[in-house]
Amino acid sequence: MYNEKEVYQLSIGAACGLSWPSDRVIIQVLDDSTDDTIKDMVELECQRWASKGINIKYEIRDNRNGYKAGALKEGLKRDYVKQCDYVVIFDADFQPEPDFLWRTIPFLVHNPELALVQARWKFVNSDECLMTRMQEMSLDYHFTVEQEVGSSTYAFFGFNGTAGVWRIAAINEAGGWKDRTTVEDMDLAVRASLKGWKFLYLGSLMVKNELPSTFKAYRYQQHRWCCGPANLFRKMSMEIIRNKKVSLWKKVHVIYSFFLVRKIIAHVVTFVFYCIVLPAAVLVPEVEIPKWAAIYIPSIITILNAVGTPRSIHLLVFWILFENVMSLHRTKATFIGLLEAGRVNEWVVTEKLGDALKTKAAMKAPKRPRFRIGERY
């Protein structure tokens, strides 16, 4: 947590409400807050649950070194963690259902080769505005296509940083949490995969969370999500190539499909093609683009992105425009990561609204139609 005034009660309450034998679970709250008032509020909330018999630990640091990775690394060093076999990670705005552990832990218990069980995200504020609807479409595609296919074909897929259960032995064998990039989740997943560990994605298990509802918050989040993977590719490409534990096919999949195509080329091509080449073809008659490149491929990509969110198919035009606008920002972030430029390790915590969302929704009065048949004015 980092100054999570709006959501700390929701997430702590959900974690403490997990159904599991009380003597076999420890709730650990990692708080890097800089606001003393908020730290006191979070600590009091932990004490409140402790008074109810919940085994909950409140942990703070005197610095933010390593950001999330640093906090997770310090959390695993605690003596009481040594008795644990698995660690479940939830970001500050995530609210798991009580049966989360019963639906994930058995997979790890019965399959010793399994390192991670990843759940899907469920967005509590997807209908808040047009921008959250656009985000829902992109993330639903990510989970429905990228994560589902990666898990089903036993290929590599990344850890989403939250709503997942890790085997602690796998984390330790992979070298633990590293703060060399802003995508500590992807870093750990790649290293664990190179050690031969397997992952499982459960699309039927959803965990409620919040989407950024302001453009500023979304822009900072996307910078981190695009800059981090590019920077990680720069630092890990040779390590992947030299690895002898995994097959050549898996190396090609991770380097080409996961990193190059999805994390680098996709952003650059989207910006160059849609924002430069296509407009140039309209303005300059000499520039000719084949029909398959100008119509068919973009149409297929667009339709695929609508598969995960059928209810938003009528918003495809807005989604295309939105993604084209974001492509410039994502391309810039990608090159910052590849070149390891100034803002490469910038970490701005995504703004969250928490209970304010419910208040905002309650204040929205239903719109009255201007005219109804049989109604007199």
Q: Is residue 182 part of a domain?
A: yes
Terminal Cα-to-Cα distance of the chain (whole angstroms): 54
Residues 30, 4 contacting (CB under 8 angstroms): no
| Per-residue pLDDT tens over the stretch 288-334 | 788 777 778 778 878 877 777 888 888 888 998 899 899 999 999 99
Low pLDDT (below 50) residues in the chain: 365, 368-377
Q: Is residue 371 part of a domain?
A: no
SS3 208: strand
d(CA 142, CA 119): 13
Residues 29, 46 contacting (CB under 8 angstroms): yes
Q: Is residue 146 part of a domain?
A: yes
SS3 181: coil
Domain membership of residue 98 as a residue range: 65-346
Q: Is residue 29 part of a domain?
A: no
User: What confidence score (pLDDT) does residue 374 get?
Assistant: 44
Contacts of 51 (CB under 8 A, 6+ apart): none
User: What confidence score (pLDDT) does residue 154 get?
Assistant: 75
Contacts of 247 (CB under 8 A, 6+ apart): none
Q: Is residue 49 part of a domain?
A: no
User: What confidence score (pLDDT) does residue 370 get?
Assistant: 45
State the CB neighbour count (10 A cutoff) for residue 173.
Answer: 15
| Per-residue pLDDT tens over the stretch 145-180 | 889 888 888 778 889 999 999 999 999 999 999 999
User: What confidence score (pLDDT) does residue 295 get?
Assistant: 78
The CATH number that applies at residue 219 is 3.90.550
Counting Cβ atoms within 10 Å, is residue 292 exposed (0-12), middle (13-18) or buried (19+)?
exposed
Q: Which residues are catalytic?
A: 32, 185
Q: Is residue 13 part of a domain?
A: no
- Residue 142 identity: H
Q: Is residue 93 part of a domain?
A: yes
d(CA 56, CA 51): 10
- The structural domain count of the chain equals 1
Q: Is residue 227 part of a domain?
A: yes
User: What confidence score (pLDDT) does residue 357 get?
Assistant: 58
Nearest Cα to Cα of residue 163 among 101, 116, 120 = 120
Residues 27, 16 contacting (CB under 8 angstroms): yes
Predicted TM-score (pTM) of the model is: 0.88
